[in-house]
Amino acid sequence: MPEESLVSLALTFRLAAVTTFVLLLAGVPLAWWLSQTRSRWRGVAGALVTLPVVLPPTVLGFYLLLLMGPHGPVGQFTRWMGLGLLPFTFAGLVVASVIQKLPFVVQPIQNAFEAMGRRPLEVAASLRASPLDAFFTVALPLARPGILTGAVLGFAHTVGEFGVVLMIGGNIPGVTRVAAVQIYNHVEAMEYAQAHLLAAVLLLLSFIAMQAVYFLNRNKVVVA
């Protein structure tokens, strides 16, 4: 495999790993809140989280570019913090990917929390577990298949991302040129052999990810 393909693959996996990590940190509490709250904001919050599923990546990328750019509020904030501007950097890619992939992570986790129902938490409370204690010792372990499914989906989706990356990150080798963009470049340059190689790697990876999801959900809810 040519060097530039390897570089793009390494970058892709780094992006997917960091994104998945951030997604779990943000997604688990968010999914928990969505599954438990009776707030009237629940519907709005749920719609906002799910929006990227239907929103064209270029649209999301465009608005993020404006927000994080030198004239956008986020851009002015990151500059004020001394972080510079996020577009066309790896950090910018992570931010965009996290927002774009949030629904794929939040939904399976939220479903797992909801399928569990209130009963296990009531049992935990009757056994002297505080709400926080019950969250870590009962809710999280019971929702494990959902959390793993969310992580796999988030990772796999990020590996394949094209539109948002192109809008926010552009096409900088080693910084923002991920595998999907690299494939596009190869095809543009009529380098079909190289494109094949990278595409095959992504195909195989996606298949493995789906197998994992299937395996995790084969016996969905176990009630004892």
Q: How far is CA 81 from CA 66, 70, 92, 208, in A?
A: 18, 13, 15, 41
User: Considering only residues 124, 167, 213, 216, which one is a binding residue for other proteins as defined by CB under 8 A?
Assistant: 124
Interaction between residue 138 and other proteins (CB under 8 A): yes
Q: Is 37 in the site for other proteins (CB under 8 A)?
A: no
Nearer Cβ to other proteins (138/159)? 138
Report the alpha-carbon distance of residue 180 to residue 94 in Å, rounded: 16
DSSP 88-143: TSHHHHHHHHHHHHHHHHHHHHHHHHHHH-SHHHHHHHHTT--HHHHIIIIIHHHT
Number of Cβ within 10 Å of residue 181's Cβ equals 22
CA distance 121 to 130: 10
122 near other proteins, rule: CB under 8 A: yes
- Is 144 near other proteins (CB under 8 A)? yes
Does 115 bind other proteins (CB under 8 A)? Our answer is no
- Residue 131 touches other proteins, criterion: CB under 8 A: yes
With contacts defined by CB under 8 A, name the span among 29-37, 70-78, 121-129, 169-177 that binds other proteins.
Answer: 121-129
**Interface residue with other proteins, options 7, 85, 129, 197 (CB under 8 A):** 129
127 lies in the site for other proteins, by CB under 8 A: yes
Q: How far is the CB of 214 from other proteins (least distance, A)?
A: 21
CB of 115 to other proteins, least distance (A): 12
Q: State the Cα–Cα distance between residues 114 and 108, nearest whole angstrom.
A: 10
Q: Any idea which residue has 């870590």 for tokens?
A: 136
If the CB atoms of residues 93 and 142 are measured against other proteins, the closer one turns out to be 142
Q: Which residues bind other proteins (CB under 8 A)?
A: 119-120, 122-131, 133-134, 137-138, 141-142, 144, 222-224
